[in-house]
């Protein structure tokens, strides 16, 4: 899908779906912003992060776009972006460290153009690792983690206390499901967990189920209507 192009570092969030670039710590970051239907709009923006670029992950991944759609249909404006070295984003892959700074740069821009809005972070696989490890320092108001790669990455000790949803396929062939379930069971303040039976890592044939699960789970966390 082609989106209208905005100038780099726009002074405001787009009023309709649009592509643009932001200046990140390693160069330009390729972004797509989209807006909720006016009747449903809430005072919040969700940043959705993609899976591991080394394994082909981009902001156009089907799970990423379905999570983006679920959050937008829930009333949040959304922003997807390609981590450094992915698509038209400049720089090189940095094992989650530089990608964390990419996310911080995107959030800093959002704080400038939407200072009164709630900030939601969402991610799939590697993207969920990046958002989990940065949710506290970026002061996220809610977190959505799809197939967090527990056992493959160290999630960090500063786990978020904000509303938090984890969706995990019980037949995930990339991330060990039981490792995720055990990780959550050991938390003092565990997130809401949705286990999806007969579901692999990429949610093949279950994408619409994922959309519905996310929309249902976050309904009570949504910020006020934009008005």
Mean pLDDT rounded to a whole number for the chain: 97
State whether residue 92 is helix, strand or coil: coil
Mean pLDDT confidence for 178-195: 96
Cα–Cα distances in Å, from 94 out to 49, 52, 139?
15, 11, 23
Q: Does residue 2 surpass a pLDDT of 90?
A: no
Alpha-carbon 7 to chain mean position: 23
Percentage of residues of the chain with pLDDT beyond 90: 95
Q: Does residue 158 surpass a pLDDT of 90?
A: no
Mean pLDDT confidence for 168-190: 97
DSSP readout, 93-149?
--TTHHHHHHHHHHHHHHHHH-TTSEEEEEEETHHHHHHHHHTTTTT-SEEEEES--
Q: Does residue 1 surpass a pLDDT of 80?
A: no
State whether residue 150 is helix, strand or coil: strand
State whether residue 66 is helix, strand or coil: helix
Q: Does residue 157 surpass a pLDDT of 80?
A: no
Name the residue among 167, 184, 90 with its Cα closest to residue 127.
Answer: 167
pLDDT digits (tens, 9 = 90+) for 97-118: 999 999 999 999 999 999 999 9
CA separation for the pair 140, 74 (Å, rounded):
17
Domains in the chain (CATH in brackets) are: 18-220 (3.40.50.1820)
Residue 97: how many CB atoms within 10 A of its CB?
9
pLDDT digits (tens, 9 = 90+) for 34-83: 999 999 999 999 999 999 999 999 999 999 999 999 999 999 999 999 99
Cα–Cα distances in Å, from 79 out to 50, 68, 76, 117?
11, 8, 10, 13
Q: Copy the structure tokens of residue 43.
A: 């005072």
pLDDT of residue 227: 77
Cα angle: 87, vertex 92, 97; to 5 degrees:
110
Half-sphere exposure (Cβ direction) of 12: Cα atoms closer than 13 Å:
4
pLDDT of residue 155: 86
Q: Residue 180 — pLDDT band, cuts 50, 70, 90?
A: very high
State whether residue 218 is helix, strand or coil: helix
Pairing relationship of beta strands 77-81 and 27-34 according to DSSP bridges: antiparallel
Mean pLDDT confidence for 132-161: 93
pLDDT of residue 4: 94
* 126 in Cβ contact with 152 (< 8 Å): no
Mean pLDDT confidence for 16-23: 98
Q: Copy the structure tokens of residue 6.
A: 């905005």
Q: Does residue 29 surpass a pLDDT of 90?
A: yes
Alpha-carbon 161 to chain mean position: 17
3-state helix, strand, coil in the chain (%, to 5): 30, 25, 45
Name the residue among 217, 34, 92 with its Cα closest to residue 142.
Answer: 217
Q: Residue 170 — pLDDT band, cuts 50, 70, 90?
A: very high
């Amino acid at each position: 899908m082609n989106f209208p192009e905005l100038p780099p570092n726009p002074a405001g969030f787009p009023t309709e779906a649009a592509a643009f670039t932001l200046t990140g710590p390693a160069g330009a970051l390729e972004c797509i912003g989209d807006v909720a239907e006016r009747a449903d709009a809430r005072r919040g923006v969700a940043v959705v992060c993609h899976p591991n670029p080394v394994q082909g992950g981009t902001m156009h991944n089907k799970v990423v776009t379905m999570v983006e759609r679920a959050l937008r249909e829930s009333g949040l404006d959304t922003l997807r972006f390609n981590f450094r070295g992915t698509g038209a984003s400049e720089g090189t892959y940095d094992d989650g460290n530089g990608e964390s700074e990419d996310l911080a740069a995107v959030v800093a821009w959002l704080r400038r153009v939407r200072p009164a809005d709630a900030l939601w972070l969402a991610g799939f696989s590697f993207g969920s690792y990046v958002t989990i490890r940065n949710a506290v320092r970026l002061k996220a108001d809610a977190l959505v983690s799809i197939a967090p790669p527990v056992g493959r990455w160290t999630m960090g000790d500063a786990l978020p206390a904000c509303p938090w949803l984890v969706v995990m396929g019980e037949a995930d062939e990339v991330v060990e499901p039981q490792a995720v379930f055990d990780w959550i069971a050991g938390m003092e303040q565990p997130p809401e967990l949705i286990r999806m039976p007969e579901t692999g890592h990429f949610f093949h044939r279950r994408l619409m189920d994922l959309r519905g699960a996310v929309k249902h789970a976050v309904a009570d966390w949504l910020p006020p209507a934009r008005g």
